[in-house]
Structure 1
């Protein structure tokens, strides 16, 4: 067990809002069996995955992953969940959110004084280490690279970006 954190991409589908698309994704297998109109509408956006002798289909695709980067999780909780943390949640992330996180990563990496003022750690039973040491800065550097790549390459007009955690 531990804090696992993801960013997922979900295609925007004409005539459907985020909630509808996310709901369809949760019922994809059932809809595939029925081959109804909704399934036909989302079919071009279905991704096929295989890993560890398992295969599955989804409308969502993982674009980033962190493990026990509690300072990054804390940032998402405070900035997209208004401080409300739950063991498992999914929230939409905007381009502005990513730009804000990227700028904070730069600030912390440039001036290593008082990192807790910009990206504080978040205590939790499964959240890992809370110190401000080399591991903390390595996670900030990793996050900066992930976010920089997404800002350069992610298409917010055609896809939703979602943060998801579990702990």
Structure 2
């Protein structure tokens, strides 16, 4: 049990799903999506280039101003959601997600739809 989050691609032509990225118990990212999109458990949000760029910038701001993490992307409580500390684990998640969202900016959106979803 725990918080599992995914970024995935859906081929517009074939509807084939490809996992793009996976996060385990990165509750701050879940909190971002809950606050911004009010998604329920197992809900999904389609992301466009503008949204991806905004999330990337937010994560990058945290990477270079780690003391602002609690303001820019606070931890988010929930059942089995992991640590609520702004420690090495939190910042490793931020670093990974920043890299993933950076590369997601270059997806061919004429061919793919890009989604965030989670399950706990």
Partner residue of 2:50 out of 96, 113, 122:
96
Match of 1:2 in 2: 2
2:105 is the counterpart of 1:165: no
Match of 2:87 among 133, 147, 162: 133
Which runs of 5 or more structure 2 residues have no equivalent in the other structure? none
2:108 corresponding residue in structure 1: 155
Whole-Å separation in 1 of the counterparts to 2:72 and 2:118: 21
Q: Deviations over 1:113-167 (max 9, x none)?
A: 2311111111001211111111111110010111112113x11121110111100
> What stretches of structure 1 of length at least 5 have no aligned partner?
14-44, 47-58
- The number of aligned residues is 120
CA distance in 1, matches of 2:12, 2:39: 26
Which structure has the larger Rg over C-alpha atoms?
Answer: 1
Per the normalisation by structure 2, the TM-score is 0.92
Match of 2:33 among 59, 63, 76: 76
Q: Please say if 1:60 is aligned against 2:13.
A: no
The residue aligned with 1:105 is 59
Q: Which runs of 4+ in 1 moved over 6 A?
A: none
Distance 1:66 1:147 in 2: 13
Q: Secondary structure at the match of 2:114?
A: strand
CA contact (8 A) 2:39 2:45 kept: no
Partner of 1:11: 11
**How far, CA to CA, are the matches of 1:10 and 1:127 in structure 2?**
27
Identify the structure with bigger relative contact order (alpha carbons < 8 Å, sequence gap 6+): 2
